[in-house]
Amino acid sequence: MNDGCHDHLLRGVEILHDPSLNKGTAFTAAERDALGLHGLLPPRISTQEQQIQHVMYNVRRKPNNLEKYLYLIGLQDRNERLYYKTLVENLEELSPIVYTPTVGLACQEYSHLYRRPRGLFITRYDRGHIREVLQNWPCKNVRVIVVTDGERILGLGDLGTNGMGIPVGKLSLYTACAGIDPAACLPVMIDVGTNNSELWSDPQYVGLPEPRLDGDDYDSLLDEFMEAASAVFPNVMIQLEDFGNKNAFRLLARYRDRYCMFDDDIQGTAGVTLGGLYSALRMIQGKITGQRIVFLGAGEAALGIGSLVAKAMMAQGLTEEEAIGRCWFVDSRGLVVACRTDLEEHKRRFAHDLPFHRNLPEVVEAIRPTAIIGASGQPATFTPEILAAMARLNDRPIVFALSNPTSQAECTAEDAYRHTNGRAVFASGSPFPKVELDGRTFIPGQANNVYIFPGVGLGVMAAQAARVTDEMFSAAAKSLDEQVSKEDFEKGRIFPSLGRIRDVSAAIALAVAKVAFARKLTKMKEPVNLPGYIKAQMYDPAYPLW
């Protein structure tokens, strides 16, 4: 076998120890004869479907979500195709286990639970040799890298090398949701130290127990990584993930025009939120140009959303000044307004001429928003008072509580529906169960980036695009809205079922690839049947015959 990771044909127990080749008890009698597997497996032959039933039986027996996560990671280490096939067929149940919210707990416990390496670890001490480190990776046709420095893991803060669970989890979703071949995926942790001093004193911590690198030393390390990754893997797309605010905006501006890259916290979150807004407005028959939006938070997620929403408003006729004027931000000190002298550069674009208000209730009364979007990492900040005010000001208030994991959400789904008399159009970043209220059943939408980034990656990869642009995320948001059906609306849902995610990702990939061809961001000639070509690129986790 030669897939970029294997350059010779394995036999016998070597096959069973290679997760990309192992089929476990699903090897047929003929395969067992041909591959030297007789006696190495129990005699009863299973189908992959029977194995999936066995996996789900064991998952459901586990006492808590962390144990379920560890069981599934163990399966990924043993039998890759079975892991992904199980994930694809049970995504609604398993995505909260392999990603948010459980992955947050898994990251907090990463060093204590560490069993075997997955991905690459790069440190300041590798400076000058990063290309050689990347060349140690056995798979040579890497198409997607997810990289973090662990500074802002979900809403949990600086977890250092423990944040490696995030790139691993994201790449699992690239494969499950958009069919990116796992052999083409590489998770990377750039360990530049940590300012979480509790980790320094933890003897179990597997990262560097030293303060974070910053300034020119940090920049030169990241520069070398970006240059080396793009040289070693010439067709790669690099996704920045969970970098701190002070670096994320800077690094995106520094690299976006030089490399095929994007920042998921800024652009992916913006894409899924804009898609959710489009669907919410279609549900309540509103126009995006008529919205006044208050964002709680002024970090990567909130400002990324505001920028993409403003572009959407401009595409529908508003001037830039008018569009920016419809987006308001509240940071940890209060309303972002022009008279403040303490604003970082990335916030100034949205600083308006209005009297300063210190807290969110005052801001809601002053701005009278049609939508409030939380991306603050501050739990329970959409209080009953604020939700009731939104219901008083709007017939159908839009309430998005996007902070992850669930424990950090600005409000629960039940709070949103209860304190607006069931009139809120609600979405959250992490999943909430359905809500029963006054004889009605509400199914909360989940504004999960998994609806956007896998499809964007598939589109960029299929079109061999040289860059990832904001226009691609705008196109992805429109495509996502188009996947939300009347039946979804009838359930109160503004995002499609995760059970349809591979079809949703293929549609988004098509929209993204069309942007790449239209803007001449690729040297590739557009295939005659682009939808068919994209679907043909998608990895199928069903077992092949040997």
Tell me the pLDDT tens digit for each residue of 80-92: 999 999 999 999 9
CB 222 within 8 A of CB 177: no
- List pLDDT tens digits, range 157-167: 999 999 999 99
Q: Compute the residue count for the chain.
A: 546
CATH 1.10.340.30, domain 13-98, yes or no:
no
pLDDT computed for residue 3 by the predictor = 56
pTM above 0.85, yes or no: yes
The whole-number pLDDT of residue 1 equals 47
What residues are paired with 274 via a beta bridge? none
Catalytic residues: 99, 170
Q: Are 178 and 505 in contact (CB under 8 A)?
A: yes
Distance CA 483, CA 497 (A): 9
φ, ψ of residue 117 in degrees (nearest 5): -70, 150
Distance from the first to the final alpha carbon of the chain: 10
What is the pLDDT, as a whole number, of residue 9?
75
Is residue 414 pLDDT above 60, yes or no?
Answer: yes
Spatial strand order in the sheet of 371-374 = 334-335, 327-331, 293-296, 371-374, 398-401, 425-428, 445-446
Q: Which of 96-100, 220-224, 355-359, 460-464 has the lowest mean pLDDT?
A: 96-100
| 448 contact partners, CB below 8 Å, separation of at least 6 | 95, 100, 272, 429, 430, 431, 495
Report the distance separating Cα 441 and Cα 435, nearest Å. Answer: 6
Confidence band (pLDDT; 50, 70, 90) for 6? Answer: low
Domain boundaries 109-259, corresponding CATH code: 3.40.50.10380
pLDDT at 153 over 70: yes
Q: Tell me if 109-259 shares its fold with 267-449.
A: yes
Domain locations along the chain = 13-98, 109-259, 267-449
CATH architecture of the domain with residue range 267-449: 3-Layer(aba) Sandwich (3.40)
Query: Is a pLDDT exceeding 80 seen at residue 210?
Result: yes
Q: Which residues of 120-159 are buried (b: 16+ CB within 10 A; e: fewer)?
A: bbbbbebeeebeebbeebebeebbbbbbbbbbbbbbbebb
pLDDT digits 0-9 by tens, 26-68: 999 999 999 999 999 999 999 999 999 999 999 999 999 999 9
Question: What does pLDDT average to over the chain?
Answer: 95
Question: Cα 487 from chain centroid?
Answer: 26
Element (H, E) at 238: strand 237-240
